Amino acid sequence: MEFLNEHLLPGQLGHFFVLLAFVSAIFATIAFFKSHLAKSETESAAWLKLARTVFFIELFSLLTVFAFLYYICANHYYEYLYAYKHSSMELEPKYLLACIWEGQEGSFLLWAMWHAILGTVVILTAKKREALVMTVVNAAQVFLIVMLLGVYVAGTKVGSSPFSLTRNELEGAIFSRPNYLNFIKDGIGLNILLRNYWMVIHPPVLFLGFASTLIPVGFAFSSLVKKDWGKWVQPVLPWALFSGLALGTGIMMGGKWAYESLSFGGYWAWDPVENASFVPWLIAMAGLHCMVIYKSTGRALRASFVFTILAYLFVLYSTFLTRTGVLGDTSVHSFTEAGKMMNILIGIYVLGVTVPMFILFFRNYKNIPAIHKEENISAREFWMFIGSMILFLAGFFIIAVTSLPVYNNVFGINVADPPDREFTYNKVMVLVAIVVGVLTGAGQFLKYKDTTKKYFLSKIVWPVIISAAIYLAIVLFYPLKYAVKGPGFLFAINIALFACIFSVVANFYYIQSVLKWKMKAAGSAITHFGFTLMIAGMIISSGNKEVISDNSKTGLFIPFDKDPTGRNQENPMENLTLLKGVPTEMGKYTVTYVSDSASPKEKTRVFYQVHFVKKGSGEKSEENFSLWPDSYKMKDNNLTSNPDTRHYLTHDVFTYVSTISVQNEEEDTSAFKTNLMHIGDTAYYDNGYIVLNGIEKNPNNERFHFSDRDTALVADLTAYSKEGTSYKLYPGLSVSNMTITFLDDTSITQNMYVRFSGISNGDEFKIGVKEHKKLTDFIAIKAYVFPYINLVWLGLIIMAAGFLVSLLHRANAPRPLALVSMVVIVGALIFLFLFANA
């Protein structure tokens, strides 16, 4: 059968280049290794030339595959399953890149591209180690690219091609028709939560970090093969620093995305996939510090090997957790679509790269030089190694708890996730923060091998005094209020806050008093300054986070469906119910649900205008602004919310919609019921009663502006509800040119109209009451104030700048290049984290 209107050429070419990249990676692996094994310089050069040629074919092929995949998604060629699942006509062009790495195949392609790009840098810089490092890079490429093959071997499908045709992968009657594309009106599209500019930036940076952890493994491999042991440390240090920069920044970009797109009210939730990306960074940082120790003292070389290999192992393990579906519904990030063969391929990848490395390491363990004499307790390297072990143990703890679903699957047991997952991690990590704060502060004033007591105390006394003064000021004027977990945990986070303040002050003092503002050598101090400032910002913003959407005074309580996990259960008392058009008090603000509007392209996505007026002391308000949180009705009818945030220098006001009204589409046929009332009489309605207080002639007030020449009457009514609340109502009527105009009033909270219909007998008045059958539009919002959250983002930027200073210093970068790199990278981070969404 010949199918109509299909665009098969892009897919055929794309699949060809996938195969070409795969074959090239195999040949490059072999050729690079043969170059190392060659017995003569001439033979080695010949193999190296061939390896480079094949490698660049591999790089070109991967870039071409990416271009074809983007072309297919951008043009919405739904004959391809990948385009059908991840793109849609409503998708804004700026999110087309995000739909590529939303899927498994696209993210593996992105990862492989970064390996190839970094491999190019290795070729240009690694010199004598190029062949062995590139052997490892291309071996990893073989495992990655095989995920994209989508070919059948002995009846078993190996990998999943991004160019698979929809009619070959899905079942349906329409696929038996030549014109089946006429029946596919649109694709499924990008997940609504991923339609955020951070999802265009965060995954590439994160995968660059993942890919970069392979390069130190390659250098370690070269040393183990060459048996030149510690000589790999010097050239690998810039790569280790780059990994810290890229992976750390990528992780926190994910935190910024979560803060702007998810409704849990924060930037970190100890989600399993967040953890799985955080652990490699912790271990990579442990390895980095061990490398620095070795370079300065000759110690910790074995630990440098182990932590370098483990960092990449946990990168691969995070891939296993994310891609195999083993996490199930315990993570918002996990893929659940991987088949059995894909799971096997990922498992082979994990074992295929790391197991040979550990075998090689342990076979050479005794030959790796180590100093057996104990370090002096006053030596910097002693405490640096202690810090490295703390980072490693913290990572081990996190991954042990995160892996509960794996234990359950492997051993057939049913160990439950901790009931309070966040606190399970927080109560351990707050202790880690204390140790890290103290070590990164005090450790700067220790010298390698030995430090005199007099020198150390003379340098540390002022940082301690200044830190104590700052902390005391915080305790007096802005104390931490997070007492939910008891006084013990509150005490612990206060100690952690002091430790972080101490580290910030100590590192600043170190740059000023010891380095004398020689910024080229200040990379580690800047990094520690930024990291502990970031942790301090996390402690303050989380410890004093305030829910301001108090619903205890409205009398309107919206029931929430029970969350089966118990983690995200909404509390009605913390979700303020807003009736459309009714100003409602919320903390320092008066908020009004003003309007709602559907997205012009995403019809089930609705934006809600919530207007805030901050109450001032005079007649004028201090400030007013509108936020536009939105909700999206998923195809399973579940509600997904995207928050909106008002950013200030010292705090953020964070708001999201937790529930919305569901209207009955039936026509409202209710009519006015007329009550004959004297002044002081009572008339009843379904939810209470109304009292006629009096009649005013030609009133001139906030609502009406009649003069003595007008003919108008206004009834003064009070409605009393069964809930004990009361509402003033002022229906009126006016006569002009022999025409009567009714000026109805409305009680939105009571779903009721009232009308002054006329006068019956002198002192008897007609008061009409109409009760809606249709519910008033309402939303429930949850709102937080995050104090000093900009310290988190500022700390990250400073930390990244510190990594960059160290990287450029270790790489001996020319001064002009170093300056341009600092301006471009740090400037971009400042814009993205502090101003892009302000």
Over residues 184-233, the pLDDT tens digits come to 989 988 888 888 889 999 999 999 999 999 999 999 999 999 999 999 99
Mean pLDDT of 545-552: 88
Per-residue pLDDT band for 671 (boundaries 50, 70, 90) equals confident
Question: Distance (Å, rounded) from C-alpha 549 to C-alpha 288?
Answer: 45
Structure tokens at 225: 């093969």
10 Å CB burial of residue 205 (0-12, 13-18, 19+) is: buried
What b/e sequence results for 678-695 when a residue is b if at least 16 CB atoms lie within 10 Å of its CB, and e otherwise?
A: eeeeebebebbebbbeeb
Task: Identify the residue whose tokens are 């995954």.
Answer: 203
- Decide: helix, strand or coil at residue 767: strand
Task: Identify the residue whose tokens are 């059958």.
Answer: 773
Question: Distance (Å, rounded) from C-alpha 529 to C-alpha 502?
Answer: 10
Largest separation between any pair of C-alpha atoms in the chain = 120
- Decide: helix, strand or coil at residue 356: helix
Residue 818 has pLDDT above 60, yes or no: yes
Per-residue pLDDT band for 556 (boundaries 50, 70, 90) equals low
Residue 737 has pLDDT above 70, yes or no: yes
Asked whether 761 and 743 are in contact (CB, 8 A), the reply is no
pLDDT digits (tens, 9 = 90+) for 271-310: 888 888 999 999 999 999 999 999 999 999 999 999 999 9
Per-residue pLDDT band for 237 (boundaries 50, 70, 90) equals very high
Mean pLDDT of the chain: 89
Chain center to CA of 646: 18
Is the torsion defined by CA of 547, 425, 248, 136 positive or negative? Answer: negative
Please enumerate in sequence order all residues whose Cβ is within 8 A of that of 422, keeping only pairs 6 or more positions apart, or say none.
269, 270
Nearest CA-CA partner of 644 in 838, 507, 816: 838
Question: Distance (Å, rounded) from C-alpha 798 to C-alpha 794?
Answer: 6
Mean pLDDT of 145-171: 92
Q: Which amino acid is at 126?
A: A
Residue 772 has pLDDT above 80, yes or no: no
Count other Cβ atoms within 10 Å, centred on residue 471.
19
Per-residue pLDDT band for 266 (boundaries 50, 70, 90) equals confident
DSSP string, 92-134: -GGGHHHHHHHSHHHHHHHHHHHHHHHHHHHHHH-GGGHHHHH
Element (H, E) at 494: helix 487-513
Question: Distance (Å, rounded) from C-alpha 803 to C-alpha 238?
Answer: 9
Rg (CA), the chain: 33
Asked whether 622 and 647 are in contact (CB, 8 A), the reply is no
Task: Identify the residue whose tokens are 């708890």.
Answer: 401
C-alpha pair distances (Å), 798 with each of 137, 553, 794 = 31, 44, 6
Task: Identify the residue whose tokens are 């442990």.
Answer: 286
Tell me how long the chain is: 838
Asked whether 134 and 128 are in contact (CB, 8 A), the reply is no
Please enumerate in sequence order all residues whose Cβ is within 8 A of that of 146, keeping only pairs 6 or more positions apart, or say none.
22, 158, 159, 345
Mean pLDDT of 328-333: 54
Chain center to CA of 511: 33
Nearest CA-CA partner of 117 in 212, 47, 35: 212
Supply the pLDDT for residue 564. Answer: 46
Supply the pLDDT for residue 135. Answer: 97
pLDDT digits (tens, 9 = 90+) for 794-812: 999 999 999 999 999 999 9
Residue 114 has pLDDT above 50, yes or no: yes
Task: Give me the percent of the chain exceeding a pLDDT of 70.
Answer: 92
**DSSP E strands: which ranges in 587-687?**
589-598, 605-614, 623-627, 630-633, 639-642, 644-647, 651-660, 673-677, 682-685
Residue 1 has pLDDT above 80, yes or no: no
Supply the pLDDT for residue 726. Answer: 86
Residue 702 has pLDDT above 90, yes or no: no
Model confidence pTM above 0.85:
yes
Per-residue pLDDT band for 667 (boundaries 50, 70, 90) equals low
Supply the pLDDT for residue 742. Answer: 85
Per-residue pLDDT band for 565 (boundaries 50, 70, 90) equals very low
- Decide: helix, strand or coil at residue 235: helix
Question: Distance (Å, rounded) from C-alpha 262 to C-alpha 760?
Answer: 59
Structure tokens at 113: 């591209």
Residue 566 has pLDDT above 60, yes or no: no
Mean pLDDT of 557-562: 59
Residue 551 phi, psi (nearest 5): -105, 10
Per-residue pLDDT band for 154 (boundaries 50, 70, 90) equals confident
Q: Which of 414-428, 455-469, 526-540 shows the lowest mean pLDDT across its residues?
A: 414-428
10 Å CB burial of residue 515 (0-12, 13-18, 19+) is: middle
Top-confidence residue, 414 or 8: 8
Top-confidence residue, 670 or 289: 289
Count other Cβ atoms within 10 Å, centred on residue 760.
13
Asked whether 663 and 777 are in contact (CB, 8 A), the reply is yes
DSSP character at residue 377: T
| CA angle, residues 281, 286, 291, in degrees to nearest 5 | 120
Top-confidence residue, 640 or 399: 399
DSSP character at residue 165: B
Please enumerate in sequence order all residues whose Cβ is within 8 A of that of 361, keeping only pairs 6 or more positions apart, or say none.
220, 224, 305, 306, 309
Asked whether 63 and 52 are in contact (CB, 8 A), the reply is no
DSSP character at residue 724: S
Chain center to CA of 724: 44
Structure tokens at 453: 């007591």
**631 strand-pairing partners:** 606, 641
Residue 599 has pLDDT above 90, yes or no: no
Question: Distance (Å, rounded) from C-alpha 99 to C-alpha 88?
Answer: 9
Per-residue pLDDT band for 510 (boundaries 50, 70, 90) equals very high
